[in-house]
């Protein structure tokens, strides 16, 4: 479904990703783990088009993403929940969700998508007229995920959805990822919370210093000595 | 004492009427700034062009006023879009001072072009609207009309910004421009639409001002500085702040002019602005840090 081949990318003079090759198959949930500054967020941005690759190829369902204008990538079925949520904090929940349905195909199905998101997050239905920035961190994260789901994506990119949330809420976020998956959506998730995320995904890549260090199934990574020492603290 | 109260009330009412028009002026500028992060220093010169458009269409070519107004609004809207395309877009990533200088250059260009094309004569569109005499107060019908039209325009802009997708995107882009591609929004298109709307508002302002003022190449100087002060006082880019500040300024001008002539009202308004810049440099309703 998604395939990166030898991708290099970065910010003007600074290269953050080197020779990344990665693939996500239809219906899978895949995690990207790694320390701070490894390039995980950059990887998500290069997939959704916020930054363009300097080298290599990115294909989604056979289409070359490097040739697709950034604002058209969401139309192909890729929705990106950015790091730190990035809600439109001074707009209402409903306006935020409306922005998620900006593209013409999603506009036409706005009502249905709104019902879908509200069924997934009943909290958001209660708060639809509230200013997004005044909600709790967990509610804001739901709103950010809801906004991404408004476009009816095939692939959902989640960048550290559990960051900064209380433990109970973190649990809810991972439950949610499980539910979204079972609905047939393909998920690529970046997480610091390695122990938890490996329980909900099929496979994972370990990113370090802009390169892929290791890849494997969740079970393999949970048993790997180096991962256990570095990321699971055991 | 009785007669004084009537003057006071009349000045208050005229202040409110002036406030509506000033609020319309501020809205256009705030919209552009809030969305594109660029100050159109030449905003009042777009209004000047619009006033000439109406002068020629209505007074010289005798088109019906509503049609002349419609054409002027559309033409200045197109001018706003053109300004964005030719001047702003190439400078979007330039330093703010360069953008300011560029739109300042457009200001002088439009003034000189108008001087060359139309001369420095004061031209009057020759529309004589009656002055209403209500309870011994004199209220200009032109001002009443301008006030009403400005309010209607502001409601229309409000509905556009809150009820349409592109309007919602215009508000969203002012909050976080980097993630707009994730929403499927082409920021360049939103900037273009915003510039056209900002221009059209200048065209509408021209339609209302031509009822009360003569047209000449430097007429923009009568509206430009006061509009900037209103926007800064309300918090640049803050449309509600601009609305409130417009009425505060208008009342200062109108009530300040009560004791001698109107020029004193302006002096007071400018002095108030300078004091406020010390007290609340971030604007009345601060938004940007
Ligand atoms: N906008 C940016 N401009 C310049 N450098 C950046 C930017 N964002 C991130 N970086 C740099 O790129 C590297 C990777 O960052 P990032 O992808 O955010 O890592 P992670 O998400 O794994 O913590 C870091 O060295 C970081 O300093
Ligand atoms: Mg990150």
pLDDT digits (tens, 9 = 90+) for B37-65: 888 999 999 999 999 999 999 999 999 99
Nearest to B44, CA basis, from B220, B283, B217, B183: B220
pLDDT digits (tens, 9 = 90+) for B137-149: 788 888 888 899 9
Tokens 């600074």 -> residue: A14
DSSP H helix total and E strand total for chain B = 10, 2
Check if A51 has its Cβ closer than 6 Å to any atom of ligand 1: no
The H or E element spanning position A9 is strand A2-11
Nearest CB partner across the interface for A102, out of B171, B176, B184: B184
Instruction: Compute the average pLDDT of residues A108-136.
Output: 95
| Number of C-beta neighbours around residue B105 at 10 A | 13
Give the Cα separation of B104 and B42 in Å (integer).
Answer: 6
The whole-model pTM stands at 0.89
Check if A233 has its Cβ closer than 6 Å to any atom of ligand 1: no
Res B126 pLDDT > 90: no
Evaluate whether A173 touches A165 at the Cβ level (below 8 Å): yes
Residue ranges of chain A that CATH labels 3.40.50.300? 2-77+154-232
**Structure tokens, B261:** 């002539």
If you count them, how many residues does chain A have? 234
Query: Cβ–Cβ of A95/B172 closer than 8 Å?
Result: yes
Kindly give the number of the ligand 1 atom that is closest to the alpha carbon of A10: 12
Please tell me whether residue A78 adopts helix, strand or coil conformation. strand
Q: In this structure, which CATH number among 3.40.50.300, 3.90.1150.10, 3.40.50.720, 3.30.2010.20 belongs to the domain A2-77+154-232? A: 3.40.50.300
Give the strands of the sheet with A155-159, arranged side by side.
Answer: A78-81, A155-159, A186-190, A29-33, A203-208, A211-217
Which residues of chain B does A52 touch, with a Cβ-Cβ cutoff of 8 Å?
A: none
Which residues of chain A does B179 touch, with a Cβ-Cβ cutoff of 8 Å?
A: 50, 82, 86
Check if A46 has its Cβ closer than 6 Å to any atom of ligand 1: no
For atom 3 of ligand 1, the residue with the nearest CA is A11
Contact of B186 with chain A, judged by CB distance below 8 Å, is answered with yes
In this prediction, what percent of chain B has a pLDDT beyond 70?
Answer: 97
For atom 18 of ligand 1, the residue with the nearest CA is A41
Q: Give the model's pLDDT for residue B289.
A: 41
Q: Give the model's pLDDT for residue A19.
A: 95
What is the ipTM score, two decimals? 0.94
**CA A71 to chain CA centroid, nearest Å:** 17
Check if A39 has its Cβ closer than 6 Å to any atom of ligand 1: yes
Res A229 pLDDT > 80: no
Check if A182 has its Cβ closer than 6 Å to any atom of ligand 1: no
**A83 vs chain B: nearest CA distance in angstroms?**
11
Nearest to A10, CA basis, from A66, A55, A48: A55
Q: Which domains does chain B have, with CATH numbers?
A: 2-279 (1.10.3470)
Nearest to A197, CA basis, from A157, A160, A234, A154: A160
pLDDT digits (tens, 9 = 90+) for A150-199: 999 999 999 999 998 999 999 999 999 999 988 899 999 999 889 899 99
Nearest CB partner across the interface for A88, out of B172, B178, B187: B172
pLDDT band at residue B125 using 50, 70 and 90 as cut-offs: confident
Res B288 pLDDT > 60: no
Q: Give the model's pLDDT for residue B182.
A: 97
């Amino acid at each position: 479904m998604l395939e990166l081949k030898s991708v290099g990318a970065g910010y003007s003079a600074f290269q953050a990703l080197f020779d990344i090759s990665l693939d996500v198959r239809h219906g899978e949930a895949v995690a990207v783990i790694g320390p701070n500054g490894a390039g995980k967020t950059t990887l998500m941005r290069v997939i959704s088009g916020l930054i363009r690759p300097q080298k290599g190829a990115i294909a989604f369902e056979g289409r070359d993403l490097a040739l697709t204008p950034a604002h058209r990538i969401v139309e192909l079925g890729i929705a990106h929940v950015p790091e730190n949520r990035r809600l439109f904090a001074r707009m209402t929940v409903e306006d935020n969700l409306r922005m998620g349905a900006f593209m013409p195909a999603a506009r036409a199905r706005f009502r249905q998508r709104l019902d879908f998101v509200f069924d997934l997050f009943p909290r958001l239905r209660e708060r639809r007229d509230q200013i997004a920035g005044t909600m709790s961190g967990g509610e804001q994260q739901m709103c950010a995920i809801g906004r991404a789901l408004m476009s009816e994506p095939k692939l959902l990119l989640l960048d550290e959805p559990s960051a900064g949330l209380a433990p109970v809420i973190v649990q809810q976020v991972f439950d949610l990822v499980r539910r979204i998956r079972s609905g047939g959506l393909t998920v690529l998730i970046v997480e610091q919370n390695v122990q938890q995320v490996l329980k909900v995904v099929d496979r994972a890549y370990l990113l370090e210093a802009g390169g892929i260090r290791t890849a494997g199934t969740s079970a393999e990574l949970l048993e790997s000595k180096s991962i256990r020492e570095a990321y699971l603290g055991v | 004492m009785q007669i004084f109260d009537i003057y006071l009330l009349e000045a208050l009412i005229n202040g409110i009427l002036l406030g509506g028009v000033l609020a319309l002026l501020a809205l256009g500028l705030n919209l552009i700034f809030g969305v594109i992060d660029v100050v159109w220093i030449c905003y009042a010169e777009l209004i000047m062009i619009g006033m000439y458009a109406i002068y020629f269409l209505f007074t010289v070519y005798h088109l019906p006023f509503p049609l002349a107004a419609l054409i002027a609004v559309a033409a200045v809207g197109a001018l706003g879009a053109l300004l964005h395309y030719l001047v702003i877009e190439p400078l979007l990533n330039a330093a703010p001072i360069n953008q300011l200088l560029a739109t300042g250059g457009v200001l002088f260009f439009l003034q000189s072009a108008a001087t060359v094309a139309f001369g420095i004569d004061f031209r009057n569109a020759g529309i004589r609207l009656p002055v209403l005499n209500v309870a011994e107060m004199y209220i200009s019908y032109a001002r009443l009309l301008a006030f009403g039209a400005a309010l209607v325009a502001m409601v229309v802009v409000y509905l556009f910004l809150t009820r349409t997708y592109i309007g919602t995107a215009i508000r969203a882009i002012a909050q976080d421009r980097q993630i707009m591609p994730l929403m499927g929004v082409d920021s360049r298109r939103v900037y273009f639409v915003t510039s056209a709307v900002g221009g059209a508002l200048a065209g509408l302002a021209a339609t209302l001002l031509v009822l009360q003022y003569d047209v000449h190449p430097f007429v923009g100087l009568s509206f430009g500085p006061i509009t900037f002060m209103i926007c800064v006082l309300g918090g640049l880019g803050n449309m509600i702040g601009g609305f409130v500040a417009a009425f505060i300024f208008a009342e200062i001008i109108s009530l300040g002019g009560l004791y001698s002539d109107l020029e004193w009202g302006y002096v007071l308004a400018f002095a108030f602005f300078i004091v406020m810049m010390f007290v609340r440099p971030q604007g009345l309703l601060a938004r940007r840090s």
